[in-house]
Amino acid sequence: MSLLAVEDLRTYFFTPEGIVQAVDGIDFELEAGESLGIVGESGAGKSVAVKSLMGLIREPGRVVDGSIRFEGRELTDLSEEQLRREIRGNEIAIVFQDAMSALNPVFTVGSQLVEVIRENTGRTETEARARAIELLDDVGIPDPEQRIDEYPHQYSGGMQQRAMIAMALACDPKLIIADEPTTALDVTIQAGILDLFEDIQERYDTSVIYVTHDLGVVREVCDRVAVMYLGKIVETAPYEELYRNPKHPYTQSLLNSVVTPDATLDGIDPIEGTMPSGVSPPSGCRFRTRCPVAFDECSRLVPPRYDDGTDHDVACLLYDERNPRDEPALHERPGRGDGSAEGFTDD
């Protein structure tokens, strides 16, 4: 049995401008100890998707349909009270992008950690404090015995994020959700946090869902990756498979638009236009308005997910056997994946 099985999850926002279908029927599974990356551009619905898992969607938003089974337990049936007591923190913990706003500025880091530990494990004050120091040490805070008594503002940005991660680890959750935890940090600091995530997974044997827009980050921390576009998952595969053999035209374009340190101007071919609004998404396939290989059926049929049995599935009509046509080959440019370095005209 999977640790987490999400089926047909739909989260809508009921705004005066109309109903925003932020997450519109996504399915995925997560095994114990596995890490899944959810990538997509802003507005794709990745943050809403993970917040839905923890019941953190607030008015005017609502999970309107679907099932979230965590260790066989249906989370959508639980009350707010049950979610708070039994799930959040002790089973599933979340790390946000903005650590400073998630930490309380008027309490020391230690007292916040101790409170969480006592609340969830029933340890005594002294035991909890010892555990808190251990956790701060685990997440790489220098001199944890001293720094435990400091306030969040005395920590640097990277250390605040580490403290947040310590907070998340405090109750030995089975799943940690990380929502763009390094987006606001410098690359040198980010590198340390990414190392920490790998380390945590090994030592604590937790599963991780890592939300990010950066494929390079996914490569560092995730086993599998789900690509989201306008409320839907368009492709799921193990990371390396996805990179070497992207099937969905959106994934292919996304890989082609990534600006990396070894790409020059000619190596990049961005997708045209911007993501349409979630209020009135395109009919059929939602990517068709920007898709370079869209055909007539794309506007009529919502593409189901095609799975060729290799743990790599894609929601695109091009992969329907009844549509015999050549696979799109946008990703085949020299210098990527095949190990050759042509195409880069350095020097």
Where on the chain is the footprint of other proteins (CB under 8 A)? 41-42, 156, 158, 186-192, 194-195, 213-220, 239-240, 243-244, 253-255, 257-265, 268-272, 274, 336-337, 339, 346-347
Closer by beta carbon to other proteins, 38 or else 92: 38
Token code pair at residue 5? 């099985």
The C-alpha atoms of residue 23 and residue 13 are separated, in whole angstroms, by: 9
Closer by beta carbon to other proteins, 260 or else 280: 260
Pick from 222, 113, 114: which is nearest to 160 by CA? Answer: 113
CB of 201 to other proteins, least distance (A): 15
Closer by beta carbon to other proteins, 270 or else 334: 270
Closer by beta carbon to other proteins, 324 or else 339: 339
CB of 260 to other proteins, least distance (A): 5
CB of 256 to other proteins, least distance (A): 8
CB of 75 to other proteins, least distance (A): 30
CB of 102 to other proteins, least distance (A): 20
Task: Count other Cβ atoms within 10 Å, centred on residue 157.
Answer: 15
- 135 class by beta-carbon count within 10 Å (0-12 exposed, 13-18 middle, 19+ buried): buried
Q: Cβ distance 317 to 297 under 8 Å?
A: yes
Q: How far is the first Cα of the chain from the last one, in angstroms, to the nearest whole number?
A: 54
CB of 272 to other proteins, least distance (A): 8
Closer by beta carbon to other proteins, 79 or else 188: 188
Closer by beta carbon to other proteins, 59 or else 347: 347
CB of 92 to other proteins, least distance (A): 26
Task: Report how far Cα 278 is from the mean position of its chain's Cα atoms.
Answer: 19
Any idea which residue has 């337990």 for tokens? 73
Closer by beta carbon to other proteins, 41 or else 320: 41
Pairing of strands 313-314, 92-95: unpaired
- 65 class by beta-carbon count within 10 Å (0-12 exposed, 13-18 middle, 19+ buried): middle
CB of 106 to other proteins, least distance (A): 24
CB of 67 to other proteins, least distance (A): 30
CB of 337 to other proteins, least distance (A): 7
Counting Cα atoms < 13 Å in the Cβ hemisphere of 253 gives: 18
Closer by beta carbon to other proteins, 86 or else 266: 266
Task: Using only the alpha carbons of the chain, give its radius of gyration.
Answer: 21
Closer by beta carbon to other proteins, 104 or else 257: 257
The C-alpha atoms of residue 36 and residue 224 are separated, in whole angstroms, by: 5
The C-alpha atoms of residue 266 and residue 105 are separated, in whole angstroms, by: 47
Token code pair at residue 271? 């997708």
The pairs formed by 147-155 with CB atoms below 8 angstroms and a separation of 24 or more are 147/109, 148/108, 148/109, 148/110, 148/113, 149/108, 149/110, 150/108, 150/109, 150/110, 151/105, 151/106, 151/107, 151/108, 151/109, 152/99, 152/100, 152/103, 152/104, 152/105, 152/109, 153/100, 153/105, 155/109
Closer by beta carbon to other proteins, 70 or else 243: 243
Q: Cβ distance 148 to 132 under 8 Å?
A: yes
